[in-house]
Amino acid sequence: MKKALVVYFSASGITAEVARKLADTLQTETFKIAPVKPYSDEDLDWTNGNSRSSVEMRDMTSRPDIVDIKAPIADYDIIFIGFPIWWYREPSVVDTFLEQYDFKGKTIVPFCTSGGSGIGETSKRIDTLTGNVAKVDAGKKFSVSVSAQELKTWAEQFV
C-alpha cells in the first residue's frame, strides 16, 4: 500500500473537516497549511474588491507567507491536497505551499469545498506550479457532509 498524506488549507473550517474525515478513513496524517497572517472575516470578504483575499486572488503572482514549510512530502507517495475554492481556483496560499517542495514521482490528488463552483482548472494549475513532475489527478469537490464511506471509496483508487 502506498503512503498517503492529507495536506489542507481551510479558512473557516469546512475543508478542514473534510480533510480530517479523509485522514481518518485512510488512517494517515494531516498537514495544515497555515498563513503567517491568518485570514480575518474582513480579509475573506469577497464582496469587497479591496479585501485581502480579493487583492491576493486578483494577482496570480501573490504568494502569502506560510508558517511551516517542513511538510514531510518526501516520505509520502500520494499527497491529497484540500482547499476551499476562492475565485474559481485554489487560494494563493496553497500556491505558496506547492512551490516549496519537490513532488517528483508523487501523485497529487486535489480536493476542495466550495459554495457551489467545481474544482475547475485547478489540477492543471497545480501541475504547472509543481513543475510538471508529478501525476496530478483532476480532483474532486466534496460537501462538508460527505460520508466517510464515500471518501474511502474515492480515495482507495489512489492508495
Ligand X SMILES: Cc1cc2nc3c(=O)[nH]c(=O)nc-3n(C[C@H](O)[C@H](O)[C@H](O)COP(=O)(O)O)c2cc1C
Cell of 85: 475554492
Q: Based on CB atoms, which residue is closest to ligand X, 134 or 151?
A: 151
Instruction: Candidates 6-14, 25-33, 65-73, 103-111: pick the segment binding ligand X (CB under 6 A).
Output: 6-14
Of 25-33, 58-66, 96-104, 107-115, the segment contacting ligand X by CB under 6 A is 107-115
Q: Is 122 in the site for ligand X (CB under 6 A)?
A: no
Map the footprint of ligand X across residues 31-70, applying CB under 6 A.
44, 46, 53
Residue 10's H or E segment, with its range, is none
Beta carbon of residue 34, minimum distance to ligand X (angstroms, whole number): 13
Confirm if 51 and 86 have CB atoms less than 8 A apart. no
In the numeric block, the cell 496530478 is attached to 136
Cβ-Cβ contacts under 8 Å for 155 (sequence gap 6 or more): 4, 22, 25, 26, 80, 109
Question: Is 92 one of the binding residues for ligand X (CB under 6 A)?
Answer: no
